Each structure stands twice: as C-alpha cells, then as structure tokens.
Chain A
C-alpha cells in the first residue's frame, strides 16, 4: 500500500548513457513533482505536472525530460548522463496544485561513473 513509489531505488551507469526513473502514486493526487537532492542534502524542485500538464519547469538541462502518461505516473528520462547528474532523485505528489502538502517517494540514488 505504498503511497508514492519509485523504481529503481539504485541506478549505477556510465557517462553518456540514457536512463529513466519511474514514479507512481496511488493517492489519487493530481499533481506530481521531481526533486533533486545533492550531496549536501539540498532539495531542489525540477519539474511539476498537474493532470499530465507541465506546470513547473525549473532551470534544468534539457537532457532531462519528464513524461506523464497519466496523472498517477510521472517518469524522468535523462539523456547523455554526466557525472554531475549523480544525486538522489525524489518524486512527490500533492492533492492538486493548490494543496500545499507534498508526499515524497523513497528516492532513486543515481550514480554516474
């Protein structure tokens, strides 16, 4: 009965590869988010989707492309991975774009070698 789930939990890959991280929420929420947490634990928003529509797109390289096939899923595809992409990526969801409380997934630790 996991609320927000992500796969994989760990991802180790070589520079230049393309990889995807998947996120699903079973809370019936309309809004989903992707955050990046760096080595200093700083959390920064990357993207937000509301009912499959992109509503937040922070200054993120366009090698990062979110995709929302339906409102319960928000996947993150990363092209041409770089060393600096190594981080923990968190998916989150909220009831809707007005509701403030966000619920986070367990995170995906991406290591680029």
Chain B
C-alpha cells in the first residue's frame, strides 16, 4: 500500500511485485522529464528519461509514462527487488532553460 510519512510519501512493496511511483508537474512548458533513484548516502542516479513528444518509454525493468493532458508522470518498476529500495525523484525541464526542477521524493521500501 501507500502511506504518507513525516516527510516523504512512502510506498511499501513486496519483493517481486510491480511498483508504480507517481509525479505531478505544474509547468505546461516542460518538455523533458527524468527519473532519478537515490539510495541512502549516495547521489541521485539516472534511471530513465522521456521527452514530451513521447508518452511511454521503456528501459530495463522500468517504464516511464507521460500524460501531458493532466501533467502526470509515472515510473513503473517491474519485479521489484530489494536493491530498488531508495528515494525516487522526478524532475522536469523546459526547452532553453538550464534548470532541472525536482519534485518531492518518493520513498520505496521493498519487503523481502
């Protein structure tokens, strides 16, 4: 299930199940979106990105979905593993703007 912790929304998922992490963005001019994974004590690590001319992109065990109509982005992780436990961030950027704007992180806890 999903619960809201003191600081970060937390998703607890059984090992082997699929995870879905959601992100809402507000800037309709954003044309680039990226997901990062941050493990405890480490820096954000690139997972997958997508441009606004696409609505779906797949990587290894991960899929990003983009719904521009409702300004929503999601990250799906297939067959979640203990190593997937981390904080996941979405970020957006608009053309010509150097700034990546990060969303609030989502904590994923994988239960063995």
A residues near B, CB below 8 A?
4, 31, 39-45, 48, 55-56, 90, 92, 97, 100-107
CB distance from B67 to the nearest CB of A (A): 20
CB atoms of A43 and B102 under 8 A apart: yes
Given contacts A100-B32, A100-B49, A101-B49, contact A45 B44 (CB under 8 A): no
B residues near A, CB below 8 A?
7-8, 32, 34, 36, 38, 41-46, 49, 87, 89, 93, 98-100, 102, 104-105
Chain B residues near A90 (CB, 8 Å)?
43-44
Given contacts A41-B7, A100-B34, contact A56 B45 (CB under 8 A): no
CB distance from A88 to the nearest CB of B (A): 9
Chain A residues near B34 (CB, 8 Å)?
100-101
Q: Which among B36, B42, B99 is the interface contact of A106 at CB below 8 angstroms? A: B42
CB atoms of B8 and A40 under 8 A apart: yes
Chain B residues near A92 (CB, 8 Å)?
43
Which A residue sits closest to B49, measured CB to CB?
A101
Chain B residues near A43 (CB, 8 Å)?
44, 89, 102
Chain B residues near A103 (CB, 8 Å)?
46
* A–B Cβ pairs within 8 angstroms, 25 of them: A4-B43, A31-B98, A39-B7, A40-B7, A41-B8, A41-B38, A41-B87, A41-B104, A43-B89, A44-B102, A45-B100, A55-B98, A56-B99, A90-B43, A90-B44, A100-B32, A100-B93, A100-B100, A101-B34, A101-B49, A102-B100, A103-B46, A104-B36, A104-B43, A106-B43
Known pairs A48-B98, A55-B98, A107-B42; list 7 more (Cβ under 8 Å). Answer: A40-B8, A40-B104, A41-B7, A41-B104, A41-B105, A45-B100, A104-B44
CB distance from B87 to the nearest CB of A (A): 6
CB atoms of B45 and A104 under 8 A apart: yes
CB atoms of B46 and A101 under 8 A apart: yes
Chain B residues near A101 (CB, 8 Å)?
34, 46, 49
Which A residue sits closest to B102, measured CB to CB?
A43
CB distance from B18 to the nearest CB of A (A): 24
CB atoms of B99 and A45 under 8 A apart: yes
